[in-house]
Amino acid sequence: MNNGADNNPQAVRSTFVTVVAWVFIVISGFATLVAVVQSIVAFLLFRDADMQAAMDQAAANQWISTAAKSFFIGAVIVFGTTLISAIGLLERKNWARLVFVGLLSIGILWTIAVLIFQMGIFQFSPDVPPGTPADVRSSYETAATAISIVSAIMTAVIAVLFGWIIKRLLSSDIKREFQTSRLRLS
């Protein structure tokens, strides 16, 4: 018996996928724009003759120049890919669902890696210089602890949220929605 889903393409479209797609379209669209502008500025900055002369004076700075350019290009690629896959998700393209799940998985790993890196920085950062007043030392330690706690909470929130979205996107109902969408096109 046909319940009308085959004749009505909107019948199988879940609100969950639509909301996730639009949220990520907005966020990644803005992030892509910012990353493109930052890349343009970085490339123009490092092309400046005075800046290049300063960079040539220190070999370590050459690495910084290359790393900065690579970082900005990488950001454009990641945010652009997220934008494209979010649009594909909105259009119920199965490839976009799979790419999106992969990007969210990388996002979880990235946030955990950043947290570990940040904890390492705090662990190996120099202590407050000797002779520093006790109230300043206490404020520094309190700030470092607060930053660590907030970072750990944010990492957990992102990991749980992205994990929940991944679980939903891999659920049989959502898979079926994307297969139904693919079948309608044939």
The per-residue pLDDT for range 46-68, each reduced to its tens digit, is 776 666 666 666 555 566 667 77
The pLDDT assigned to 9 comes to 47
Distance CA 66, CA 48 (A): 15
DSSP three-state, residue 170 = coil
- Cβ proximity of 72 and 42 under 8 Å: yes
> In this structure, what is the dihedral angle of CA atoms 49, 51, 57, 60, given to the nearest 10 degrees?
-140
Average pLDDT, the chain: 83
Give this prediction's pTM. 0.76
